[in-house]
Amino acid sequence: MAEKLDKIDLKILRILQENSKITNLDLSKKIGLSPAPTLERVKKLEQSTIIESYHAQVNPQAIGLNVKTFVLVSLAWHKENALNNFLEKVKTIEEITECFIITGEADFLMKIICKDLPSYEQLLFKTLSQIEEIERLKTLMTLSTVKDSKVLPFNYG
pLDDT for the residue 4: 84
Render pLDDT for 5-61 as a digit per residue (tens, 0 to 9). Answer: 999 999 999 999 999 999 999 999 999 999 999 999 999 999 999 999 999 999 999
Main-chain phi, psi angles of 35, to 5 degrees = -60, -40
Given strand 108-114, what is the order of strands in its sheet? 96-101, 108-114, 67-75, 134-141
Question: Is the pLDDT assigned to residue 3 strictly greater than 70?
Answer: no
One-character DSSP codes across 31-77 = HTS-HHHHHHHHHHHHHTTSS--------TGGGT--EEEEEEEEE-T
Render pLDDT for 58-78 as a digit per residue (tens, 0 to 9). Answer: 999 999 999 999 999 999 999
CA distance linking residue 37 with residue 12, whole number of Å: 12
Task: For the domain covering 61-141, report its CATH number.
Answer: 3.30.70.920
pLDDT for the residue 155: 75
Predicted TM-score (pTM) of this structure: 0.85
CATH 1.10.10.10 domain residues, the chain: 2-47
- The domain defined by 2-47 folds into Arc Repressor Mutant, subunit A (1.10.10)
CATH 3.30.70.920 domain residues, the chain: 61-141
Share of the chain above pLDDT 70, in %: 97
Sign of CA dihedral 79, 84, 85, 89: positive
pLDDT for the residue 154: 81
Render pLDDT for 119-153 as a digit per residue (tens, 0 to 9). Answer: 999 999 999 999 999 999 999 999 999 999 989 98
| DSSP code at position 108 | E
